[in-house]
């Protein structure tokens, strides 16, 4: 795997200077961008995300006791907690590792304490799952320090539990799963009901993530409202989740439904179909078809699920106007954050410049644009990749 030597170096050097010894382990876990399958995960449905080449990194060394002391290079702050006595604190970055410790312990795993230094280059709050990346990196750190065998789907579920029950965000399982199981050069089809996965080699083209530079305060309440509407639709069809409703059954009874709930259900049912379609198209290396399905997904999220915004629509329009764009859609929960486009690789540089200019002209906002590569999920760096710190680090403290 192409290791981000820069972040690896920073956490390794940070650890050595703070704790006076080389780190025993270095772990990382990526953020993600979702290519297809939006708001389907909590309906037991299908998603097709990829892990991106931006990640949370932790350099660590085990401690003899059951304390965790973690320094964040992003916040320039050190926090600690005791695995014998985990308590929720005020909202801050340390609640993520603490919540992961709580979830792991509550599943019966026995954890050792460690000292660590963390840094993350997944943009925070942009909808690229920096929190899932931090959670999975922490889980990977606990597994390395405590000699726990790494079981990616199980760890993803425990990190989702931490996010739901400790941090208090009611997300589905997509972000944690892809951060755990991502594969270099591949998108991954995840069945969010049984957590089976299928890696699909990436078709020709570049993935461009376009941050609208807008965030909405009401994301959580709107997200929970959408979840409740989907549950109401499943109850209408008398099934456990919308995943179980076939298009034919929907078409037979849709006129009896509350109009809003009907539109929400139509999005989820058609989005599951598009997700399968996009996977099939990727297998055929048919980027034009993947793009066409991305465009349809955006329309459905905008009109039926109503989670897009004027800025997301402007970004998607700006992208589609550029030559070489196979397709574009909003990605993630919506209400601000990012859009994603699949673009012909030979014109991607001009695409980035053109979209920036057009979006700025249309909205007055300066976007951030990232060309992303599909990366591996949570991993433990090999000794080889930070050999220098093993051989040249200052001597350990007694």
Is 53 among the residues that bind ligand GLA (CB under 6 A)?
no
Among the listed ranges 75-83, 172-180, 198-206, 361-369, the one in contact with ligand GLA (CB under 6 A) is 172-180
Is 44 among the residues that bind ligand GLA (CB under 6 A)?
no
Beta strands at 46-47 and 186-191: parallel, antiparallel or unpaired? antiparallel
Point out the catalytic residue in the list 175, 217, 238, 304: 175
What is the dihedral angle through the alpha carbons of 78, 82, 83, 87, rounded to the nearest 10 degrees?
A: -90
Is 152 among the residues that bind ligand GLA (CB under 6 A)?
no
CB 106 within 8 A of CB 162: no
Active site residue 383: no
CB 318 within 8 A of CB 362: yes
Among the listed ranges 23-31, 33-41, 112-120, 353-361, the one in contact with ligand GLA (CB under 6 A) is 33-41
Is 41 among the residues that bind ligand GLA (CB under 6 A)?
yes
Q: How far apart are CA 228 and CA 396, in angstroms?
A: 54
- Interface with ligand GLA (CB under 6 A), residue total 10
Is 304 among the residues that bind ligand GLA (CB under 6 A)?
no
Cβ within 8 Å of residue 152, ≥6 positions away: 180, 181, 377, 378
Q: Please identify which residue in 333, 342, 355, 378 interacts with ligand GLA, judged by CB under 6 A.
A: 333
Rounded to a whole number of angstroms, the minimum distance from the CB of residue 309 to ligand GLA is 15
Is 174 among the residues that bind ligand GLA (CB under 6 A)?
yes
Is 38 among the residues that bind ligand GLA (CB under 6 A)?
yes
What are the phi and psi torsion angles at 219 (to 5°)?
Answer: -55, -50
Q: Which is nearer to ligand GLA, 307 or 315 (CB)?
A: 307
Rounded to a whole number of angstroms, the minimum distance from the CB of residue 319 to ligand GLA is 19
Among the listed ranges 34-42, 134-142, 322-330, 375-383, the one in contact with ligand GLA (CB under 6 A) is 34-42
Among the listed ranges 168-176, 278-286, 315-323, 345-353, the one in contact with ligand GLA (CB under 6 A) is 168-176
What's the Cα-to-Cα distance from 365 to each of 212, 312, 359, rounded to whole Å? 8, 12, 7
Structure tokens at 50: 């990829």
Q: Please identify which residue in 61, 172, 291, 327 interacts with ligand GLA, judged by CB under 6 A.
A: 172
Q: Which is nearer to ligand GLA, 3 or 177 (CB)?
A: 177
Sheet of 46-47, strands arranged across:
46-47, 186-191, 197-201
Active site residues: 175
Binding site for ligand GLA (CB under 6 A): 38-39, 41-42, 171-172, 174-175, 332-333
């Amino acid at each position: 795997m192409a290791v981000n030597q820069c972040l690896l170096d920073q956490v390794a050097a940070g650890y050595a200077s703070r704790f006076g010894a080389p780190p025993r382990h270095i772990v990382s876990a990526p953020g993600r961008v979702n290519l297809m399958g939006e708001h389907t995960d909590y309906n037991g449905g299908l998603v097709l995300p990829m892990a991106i080449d931006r990640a949370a990194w932790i350099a660590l060394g085990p401690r003899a006791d059951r304390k965790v002391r973690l320094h964040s290079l992003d916040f320039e702050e050190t926090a600690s907690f005791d695995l014998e006595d985990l308590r929720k604190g005020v909202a801050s970055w340390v609640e993520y590792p603490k919540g992961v410790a709580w979830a792991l312990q509550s599943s019966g795993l026995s954890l050792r304490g460690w000292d660590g230094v963390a840094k993350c280059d997944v943009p925070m709050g942009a909808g690229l799952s920096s929190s899932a990346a931090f959670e999975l990196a922490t889980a990977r750190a606990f597994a390395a320090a405590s000699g726990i065998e790494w079981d990616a789907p199980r760890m993803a579920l425990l990190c989702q539990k931490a996010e739901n029950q400790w941090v208090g965000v009611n997300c589905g399982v997509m972000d944690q799963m892809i951060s755990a199981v991502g594969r270099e050069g591949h998108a991954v089809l995840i069945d969010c009901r049984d957590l089976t996965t299928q890696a699909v080699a990436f078709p020709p083209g570049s993935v461009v993530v376009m941050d609208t530079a807008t965030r909405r305060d009401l994301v959580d309440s709107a997200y929970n409202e959408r979840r409740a509407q989907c549950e109401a639709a499943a109850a209408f069809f008398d099934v456990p989740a919308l995943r179980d409703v076939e298009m034919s059954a929907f078409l037979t009874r849709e006129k009896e439904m509350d109009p809003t709930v009907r539109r929400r259900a139509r999005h989820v049912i058609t989005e599951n179909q598009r997700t399968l379609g996009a996977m099939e198209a990727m297998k055929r290396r048919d980027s034009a078809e993947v793009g066409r399905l991305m465009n349809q997904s955006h329309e459905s999220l905008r009109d039926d699920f109503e989670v897009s915004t004027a800025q997301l629509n402007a970004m998607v329009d700006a992208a589609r106007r550029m030559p070489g764009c196979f397709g574009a859609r909003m990605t993630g929960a919506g209400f601000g954050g990012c859009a994603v486009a699949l673009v012909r690789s030979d014109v991607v540089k001009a695409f980035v410049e053109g979209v920036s200019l057009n979006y700025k002209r249309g909205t007055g906002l300066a976007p951030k644009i990232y060309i992303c590569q599909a990366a591996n999920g949570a991993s433990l760096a090999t000794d080889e990749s930070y050999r220098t710190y093993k051989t040249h680090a200052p001597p350990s403290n007694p």
